[in-house]
Amino acid sequence: MKIIHVTHAPELYGIGTFLLSLIRAQKEIKMDLGPSVAFHSSKGNIQRFAELGVPLYSLNCGSARDPRIFFRFYRICVNYDVVDFHTHSPWAVLAALLAKKRTIFTFHGALGLRKIWLDSIVKLFYRRIIHQYCDLITFASKSSFERYISAIGGKLDTKKIRIFPYGRSIETVKATKSKKDMKQALKLNGYFVVGTAVRIDQEKKLDRLIKTLALLASEKKLKLVIAGNGDRQYESYLRNLAAKLNVDNLVDFLGYREDIFDIVNSYDLFVLPSRDEPFGLALLEAMALGVPCVVFKDGGGAVDILGDSGFIVSDSVELAKLILKVKKNDAILNNVSAVGKERAAKFDIKFTAQRFDSIYKELINK
């Protein structure tokens, strides 16, 4: 049984991180893996996959909707038994179906919808092609499944649905610098640091953090740190909002960072402000590092991951009150840190790899 994974552009964050972890775990249980395929990717990402002994092939197509993908991917997928999609490319899906391969659509939260007229065609593709012809569709949480159905509509055969947490290679989540040294490098010595590490996007609801900061503007030695890049227009909105609320001097936008574990490890409190998060990989990594974590009640899958090992708030007012409560209470933070780290181990990627292995075998034996 030969497996091939398909993605769009495997960044160090998100799907790229998940795939690297999954492939590493799959190799440990002796699965027969083919290459991973990306529509476009940097040399650095290609190297990361090559180091695992599972090369990443780039189709050199900037868009998942580029029709050249059909021909380029068809020539590759004919040599494999199961195609596991981590993307919504119509051309790659059609190529695999024409090659009569067993197909899985692993939903990570992105649907390729852009709030334009073309969205109706994309939704139709999901309903008429993916729903009917893909063998299975997996979701990282019940919230992720509900979000998918809400956005796409239509009916999905319950026999094709699999819901389980996707996980992460917990042992690889390590900081290389001490919290003290990293705070010094970021010029945050003496500050209580509230931070996050996400793709900058409207769905991540980062404005919640700016509004929380405005409620704490008079509090001394407090900083908000946002690590990550993405939607420049939304980032501009966040910067303008911070300036409007007179807290722009209290928030640092770090952009993309290779040393993200060191960054997160420097936080005193990690907050994932997202609404309807499909899973929450950044949250799991913060928990694994032992950083006390906070999510919002409408955080979807992130609420399931955190469980009772952290804090759950309903809005910016509650978050502000929580920060004031824990800011000078190391005992509370230390307890949450230990419990969160213990819970993170339950989401190790080895369990995810075993689940996918059983799914692949199920498809082959149909």
Residue with token string 């420097």: 266
User: Tokens in use for 203?
Assistant: 């769905």
d(Cα 21, Cα 29) in Å, to the nearest integer?
13
Could you tell me where the DSSP H helices lie in 99-162? 119-125, 131-133, 142-152
DSSP conformational letter for 132: H
Q: What domains are defined for the chain?
A: 3-169+348-364 (3.40.50.2000), 171-347 (3.40.50.2000)
What is the DSSP code string of 286-339?
HHHTT--EEEETT-BHHHHHHTTSSEEESSHHHHHHHHHHHTT-HHHHHHHHHH
DSSP 8-class letter at 127: I
Q: Tokens 């009917």 label which residue?
A: 132
> Could you tell me which residues come within 8 angstroms of residue 328 by beta carbon, excluding any fewer than 6 positions away?
none
pLDDT tens per residue, the chain (366 residues)?
899 999 887 665 678 888 888 998 999 988 888 888 888 877 777 888 888 888 888 898 878 889 999 999 999 999 999 999 998 789 999 999 999 999 999 998 877 777 778 889 989 999 999 999 999 999 998 888 998 999 999 889 999 999 999 988 898 899 999 999 999 999 999 999 999 999 898 989 999 999 999 999 999 999 999 999 888 999 999 999 999 999 999 999 999 998 999 999 999 999 999 988 888 889 999 999 999 999 999 998 899 999 999 999 999 999 999 999 999 899 999 999 999 999 999 999 999 999 999 999 999 987
pTM attached to this predicted model: 0.81
CA distances from 2 to 36, 90, 115, 194 (A): 12, 22, 37, 45
- Side by side, which strands form the sheet with 269-272? 251-255, 222-227, 192-197, 269-272, 293-296, 311-313
Is beta strand 161-163 parallel, antiparallel or unpaired with respect to 102-106? unpaired
Longest dimension (CA), the chain: 64
